[in-house]
Structure 1
Amino acid sequence: MTSTPLAATRPARSGARAVHKGQQTRASILDAALSLASQKGLEGLSIGHLADITGMSKSGVFAHFGSREELQMSVIREYHARFEEEVFYPSLREPRGLPRLEAMFRRWLARVSIEIDSGCIYISGAVEFDDRPGPVRDALVDMVRTWHTGLERAITIAREEGHLRADTDARQMLFELHGLVLALHHDARFLRTPGSVQRAEQGFLNVLARYRALPG
């Protein structure tokens, strides 16, 4: 058996440590960028500002993303990944049909309720980029549509399971549920209307009552 010289393993180990450290640094920058984007929007992101927040040089931050545009898209992807971990994947553990749909919407509502003070990147990003074509807008649209596709699929399954009326239009129901979330964000964050979260919850119950299949 031929042993590998210790010296030969050092470059590989050193390289692995460098990669791990680089990943940790990038994750720290993304944490700071997410916090900044939640407060100031995606357009509020800048390499210089993040360098100040993280205590890094501008060139050090730039090396991890390459451009402000790539930084914005990375923030969108990270936000979406966290959204899935908090809202989508836990809901999949619920039984198929209405229990899963209810879990998805209520977790979504809970997240938006928490983000009232900081801001939802999906919603604020739509305002910033609704009329600005480009890769940042495309990335944002793709992530929102991915979530909508999952929610629409949950509505369709609830209909197939017999929990919702057979004539339920999944896209229409999705539109109405999304409208509740937008109304909550507007009334709670912009108008500061008391009881907005409770009204959104009641709105959800009202929607379910209209689409729910009749017993028997």
Structure 2
Amino acid sequence: MTDTREDGRRERGRRSREAILAQAVSLASVDGLDGLTLGRLATAAGVSKSGFFAHWRDKEQLQLDAIEWASGQWVDEIVRPALRTPPGVRRVLALHEARLRFYEAKVLPGGCFFFVAQVEFDDRPGAVRERVAKAMTDWLGLVERAVREAMDLGELPGDIDAAQLAYEVDALGEATITHARLLGGDTIVYDRARRAVLERLRALTPDPALLPED
């Protein structure tokens, strides 16, 4: 009986922590990680302040855990769906398109947690900056590996700069956030961002038939 009650408490604690982190990532996508306040976050997550302190004793650890949660969300919503596409040039495009779909679906009210976090912490040394940088490096590395796989399969030329192409794909995805939110015309912006990478890949691949025409 004691073990059952203990398991129940652990499960409630896990659910409470997940609910807080989901709200933290959502709020931080608009107001940044420094904009997370105890009262606002506790209210948004539907937990008491005492329940909040049961999980975090300082703001930096909350910020680090929020980054970890956002990284998991990125994997679930973007990376895993894209990796269902076979390796090669189509997977490179799939990674870009999955990112655009995530933005277009407005999963987060601010569009992109990591875009806000990198602007907020790019010149502020410390553990939070390092964790944001790692998340960005992991993503760029994944795109670059997809490019190299396409090169190995002969679907992209063997003499291209894989890191450069990965940078271009990432930059076009990142630019979509500010263009869509600040300049408006969401549909046009997403269409242009998709077409930019699609046309770049079609121009590079020896077999354009692998990719859609538009």
- State the shift of 1:202 in Å: 1.5
Query: What is the aligned partner in structure 1 of residue 153 from structure 2?
Result: 161
| Partner residue of 2:143 out of 148, 151, 161 | 151
Query: What is the aligned partner in structure 1 of residue 170 from structure 2?
Result: 178
- Per-residue deviation, residues 72-105 of structure 1 (Å, max 9, x unmatched): 1111111110110121122222212122222111
- State the shift of 1:155 in Å: 0.5
Residues in 1 aligned to 2:200 and 2:172: alpha-carbon distance in whole angstroms: 10
Unmatched runs of 5 consecutive residues or more in structure 2: 209-214
1:33-182 aligned within 5 A: 33-115=24-106, 118-182=110-174
- When the two chains are superposed, the root-mean-square deviation of aligned CA atoms in Å is 1.8
- Per-residue deviation, residues 100-133 of structure 1 (Å, max 9, x unmatched): 2221111012112334852201111111001011
Q: Aligned pair count?
A: 206
- State the shift of 1:209 in Å: 2.8
1:20-31 aligned within 5 A: 20-31=11-22
Q: Do 2:29 and 2:110's aligned partners in 1 also have CA atoms closer than 8 Å?
A: yes
Residues in 2 aligned to 1:119 and 1:136: alpha-carbon distance in whole angstroms: 20
**What is the identity percentage for the equivalent residue pairs of Structure 1 and Structure 2?**
34
- TM-score, normalization by structure 1: 0.88
Q: Do 2:89 and 2:201's aligned partners in 1 also have CA atoms closer than 8 Å?
A: no
Q: Do 2:23 and 2:45's aligned partners in 1 also have CA atoms closer than 8 Å?
A: yes
What letter is aligned with 1:130?
Answer: D
Query: What is the aligned partner in structure 2 of residue 208 from structure 1?
Result: 201
Structure 2 CA distance for partners of 1:106 and 1:54, relative to 1, 3 Å: closer
Structure 2 CA distance for partners of 1:112 and 1:68, relative to 1, 3 Å: same
- State the shift of 1:192 in Å: 2.1
**Over 6 Å off, 4+ runs:** none
Q: Do 1:97 and 1:159's aligned partners in 2 also have CA atoms closer than 8 Å?
A: yes
Residues in 1 aligned to 2:15 and 2:46: alpha-carbon distance in whole angstroms: 15
Residues in 1 aligned to 2:44 and 2:177: alpha-carbon distance in whole angstroms: 28
Unmatched runs of 5 consecutive residues or more in structure 1: 1-9
Residues in 1 aligned to 2:197 and 2:46: alpha-carbon distance in whole angstroms: 45
